[in-house]
Structure 1
Amino acid sequence: MAFVSPQGYQPAYNPAIPYRSPIYGGLRPGMSVYIQGSVPQRVNRFCVNFSCGQYDGTDIAFHFNPRFDGKNNVVFNTFQSGSWGNEEKRKDGFPFNKGVHFELVFMVNPGGYQVNVNGSHFYEYRHRIPLQRVECIHVDGDVNINSVTVVGGGGGGGPMMAPSFGAGGAMPLPGYPNMNLPVMGGPVYNPPVPYFGNIPGGVTPKRTFVVRGFIPQGGQRFHINFKTQSGDIALHFNVRINENAVVRNSKLRGSWGSEERGMKFNPFVPGQYFDISIRTGNGRYKVFVNGQDFCQYAHRFQGMQMITQLEIGGDVVLSLVQI
């Protein structure tokens, strides 16, 4: 079964370009669109469009367009009633480089779109078309996309819907009829490391935790710990670049247990972004990395609701944490 984000959207991993995905119910303040990708060596320009329909020729509420034409600038605009509006440009601090990974976050605010690139604020673009008209995300041009995620969608009151990756309509996600995965709070962007977060009410079954970030060049290891107030570590997820290993373990009553190291692949590479989703079940944790089923870890600490702390530390730059 594919991983489903806590907000009800199924992230798209390594989609073909051009990529289009509907936003069911329209765009709303508080939502975000999170894109990880890289720029190829041979590049002219690419764009991210927030469109009012799924097809060419429809109005575009927000056109985000990095251009590698010797001037290296980013153009922002709106296409409405068959015509482009006045361009806005940012020429300084161009954040994209050929052959290098990037991370884009579009935060939807009541007054406009806030654009963050690689963890830093980049631009504010005020709305020219009402948010509720925006129905589609469109990515095109010279770009490679690792993942696209809509954060903050999927309200209650109906079946959870996944974006279709073609021109078709929505499909209910198998296994999730009329149910939202429990989420207590919104995402935290670019938190400092070490990160300490409280888990209100403790860990419960069918709850998903999301950690996204970047391993800097020269990074050796980082960890994610699910802890209790008494200091027990129910799950220690430890990426060790220097050992080409990802270690899982528990520390109970002051003692570490036996390590688990088995894995089908190692997705953690310095200089690249990662996307970790940890879902808690009745008998085990299920860990997904970059959309792929990575491992499972059976509970060794049985009092799940006593696990009230999430701790992240080591050689890592965090871009998003969702508890």
Structure 2
Amino acid sequence: VSQRAGLLELGPAAPVGGAPPPMSPAEKLDPLPDTFILQPPVFHPVVPYVTTIFGGLRAGKMVMLQGVVPLDARRFQVDFQCGCSLHPPPDIAIHFNPRFHTTQPHAICNTLQAGRWQAEARWPRLALRRGASFRILFLFGHEDMKVSVNGRHFLHYRYRLPLSRVDTLGIFGDILVKAVGFLNINPFPEGGSEYPVGHPFLLGSPRLEVPCSRPLPRGLWPGQVIVLRGLVLPEPKDFTLSLGDEAARVPVALRASFANRTLAWVSPWGRKQLILAPFLFYPQRFFEVLLLCQEGGLKLALNGQGLGATSLGRQVLERLRELRVSGTVQLYCVHH
């Protein structure tokens, strides 16, 4: 998955409590303000793509896709899933499926429950075209989902499964996705100005025990990416991501201290290299840590913002055999 630092380019910001204004696909896009973004955006994901929706879905959330329909596209689908298991397959609360290969291109919405599809809902006038760019907005209400394409209302689909069960987004088929955004229709629902508070997943949703340890059988190599996603707990003390070798030594660790709001690289014997950047961990806020392994060290991004790098020799990187995570966080994803 390719990511970049900075804000998600999703078009002009909506007025508080309102929907985004219409726009042309060719119109230059401007970044949305931080307050609308509920979790880090994803840029140029490789399809098929499956990701966690931090905190699940609820009324007032939006998911936005920007991309292009290939000239030879037959069909693609966007699934809002209840989990991400392969066997058995998860329930799909909302299945959005444009089809281009038929005599009359159309879109299907449906729900998969206990391995069985329910009755299809069909829209014959497809608002997407082969070879054309698009901006699709999924807006989740209390009783149904509304979909707009390039700023124009396209369809609405009434829920057949509880929206609260949805915690995973899946994108499959013939589609080139440039960006995926997870937004809030109104960033100030109670008159506040803070980044929206996150809540832990429902009981039974996937989560990882902390402290958490993962083996790195082949060490690290240039181009490898480590991704951590989680939620900072209400009264946090610290957070540490450490990389150790076979002798149980820790050549490098990333440590966040909530007491003095500092982020630092910690090398052997406790030497600290402060990261001179805004402290982006907040209580009850979701976070994403991304480490990119490159020649000479590790490059760090937090919540989509690049925060610099630390130096490590290639031989040191190759000898790293364990990834450990500890601290006052709830962890949902460790990918390497």
Bin for the TM-score computed over the shorter chain: 0.5 to 0.7
Matched, 1:266 2:260: no
Partner of 2:185: 142
2:304 to 274, 282, 291: 291
Instruction: Tell me the amino acid that sits aligned with residue 260 of structure 2.
Output: E
Displacement of 1:268? 0.9
Matched, 1:90 2:90: no
Where does the alignment leave 5 or more consecutive residues of structure 1 unmatched? Answer: 1-6, 66-73, 96-103, 109-130, 147-188
Superposed CA RMSD in Å reads 4.4
1:3-37 per-position Cα deviation (integer Å, ceiling 9, x unaligned): xxxx3465884443569999788x43xx3145559
SS at match of 2:273: coil
Residues 95-114 of structure 1 correspond to what in structure 2 (within 5 A)? 104-107=167-170
Displacement of 1:198? 1.1
Shift of the 227–212 alpha-carbon distance from structure 1 to 2, 3 Å rule, reads: same
Matched, 1:215 2:256: no
Residues 50-65 of structure 1 correspond to what in structure 2 (within 5 A)? 53=69, 61-62=77-78
2:247 to 230, 246, 263: 230
SS at match of 2:259: helix
1:206-255 per-position Cα deviation (integer Å, ceiling 9, x unaligned): 3221112111111111100110121210111111112211132122xxxx
Partner of 1:32: 50
Shift of the 23–244 alpha-carbon distance from structure 1 to 2, 3 Å rule, reads: closer
Partner of 1:16: 10
1:163-215 per-position Cα deviation (integer Å, ceiling 9, x unaligned): xxxxxxxxxxxxxxxxxxxxxxxxxx733211111112212233221112111
Shift of the 76–301 alpha-carbon distance from structure 1 to 2, 3 Å rule, reads: closer
SS at match of 2:160: strand
1:240 to 245, 257, 273: 257
Partner of 2:210: 193
Instruction: Tell me the amino acid that sits aligned with residue 228 of structure 1.
Output: D
TM-score (norm 2): 0.53
Matched, 1:132 2:173: yes
Partner of 1:114: none
Give me the whole-angstrom Cα distance separating, in 1, the residues matched to 2:226 and 2:317. 14
Number of equivalent positions:
224
Give me the whole-angstrom Cα distance separating, in 2, the residues matched to 1:248 and 1:264. 13
Give me the whole-angstrom Cα distance separating, in 2, the residues matched to 1:276 and 1:64. 24
Q: Is the 8 A contact 1:52 1:59 kept in 2?
A: no
Q: Is the 8 A contact 1:51 1:59 kept in 2?
A: no
Give me the whole-angstrom Cα distance separating, in 1, the residues matched to 2:264 and 2:10. 33
Shift of the 91–206 alpha-carbon distance from structure 1 to 2, 3 Å rule, reads: closer
Instruction: Tell me the amino acid that sits aligned with residue 160 of structure 2.
Output: K
TM-score (norm 1): 0.54
Shift of the 143–59 alpha-carbon distance from structure 1 to 2, 3 Å rule, reads: farther
Instruction: Tell me the amino acid that sits aligned with residue 228 of structure 2.
Output: V
1:203 to 220, 239, 246: 220
Give me the whole-angstrom Cα distance separating, in 1, the residues matched to 2:305 and 2:274. 17
Instruction: Tell me the amino acid that sits aligned with residue 185 of structure 2.
Output: D
SS at match of 2:233: coil
Q: Is the 8 A contact 2:264 2:274 kept in 1?
A: yes
Q: Is the 8 A contact 2:77 2:173 kept in 1?
A: no
Q: Is the 8 A contact 2:275 2:307 kept in 1?
A: no
1:28-59 per-position Cα deviation (integer Å, ceiling 9, x unaligned): 3xx3145559999xx756456799949xxx98
Where does the alignment leave 5 or more consecutive residues of structure 2 unmatched? Answer: 12-19, 26-41, 82-91, 99-105, 110-119, 122-157, 188-194, 196-205
Q: Is the 8 A contact 2:2 2:45 kept in 1?
A: no
1:95-122 per-position Cα deviation (integer Å, ceiling 9, x unaligned): 8xxxxxxxx53246xxxxxxxxxxxxxx
Partner of 1:76: 94
Shift of the 78–285 alpha-carbon distance from structure 1 to 2, 3 Å rule, reads: closer
Shift of the 32–315 alpha-carbon distance from structure 1 to 2, 3 Å rule, reads: same
Partner of 1:112: none
Shift of the 202–141 alpha-carbon distance from structure 1 to 2, 3 Å rule, reads: closer
Give me the whole-angstrom Cα distance separating, in 2, the residues matched to 1:244 and 1:77. 42
Partner of 1:249: 266
